[in-house]
Amino acid sequence: MRLFLAIQLSPAVREALLTAQDALRRQGRGSFPPPENLHLTLAFLGEAEDPTRARAALSEVSCRPFSLAVGGPPGHFGDLLWAGVRADPALEELAVSLQADLRSQGFCQEDRPWLPHITLVRRWRGEAP
């Protein structure tokens, strides 16, 4: 199974993202995640049979209260379109801390900065929004 750590979105944020997806559907085509799969990924763990080590990494993490705001035009990388997220420093610290703890539990983390985003569509075929 593919494991990742993510933040579930509030119903209001999810509704706004569904509106953005509807607008994209009128501009092109692709694979749109269903509403229940919309999330903000904090760390991708990869394929794993047993989530026990990931749970151990989570037990070491604490975080301060944080806020996030979804906004700005959709971003893209190749055929992936996403909604940008403005994260406050506490959320950024949480993501960095999680990734460090996951490394200590033997999970290979990507060696690039965390880019907070919510995937709106994969395999996009259409004009760039």
Q: Which residues pair with 80 in a beta bridge?
A: 77
- With vertex at residue 71, the alpha carbon angle to CA 76 and CA 40, rounded to the nearest 5 degrees, is 70
Residue pair 31/122 in contact (Cβ under 8 Å)? The answer is yes
Q: Choose, from 117, 118, 120, 121, the residue flagged as catalytic.
A: 117
Q: What is the 3-state secondary structure (H, E, C) of 37-99?
A: HCEEEEEEEEECCCCHHHHHHHHCCCCCCCCEEECCCCEEECCEEEEEEEECHHHHHHHHHHH
* Known active-site residue 117: yes
Dist. CA 98–CA 57, nearest whole Å: 7
State how far the Cα of 28 lies from the Cα of 128, in Å rounded to an integer: 9
- Catalytic site residue from 6, 7, 39, 41: 39
Instruction: Supply the residues annotated as catalytic.
Output: 39, 117
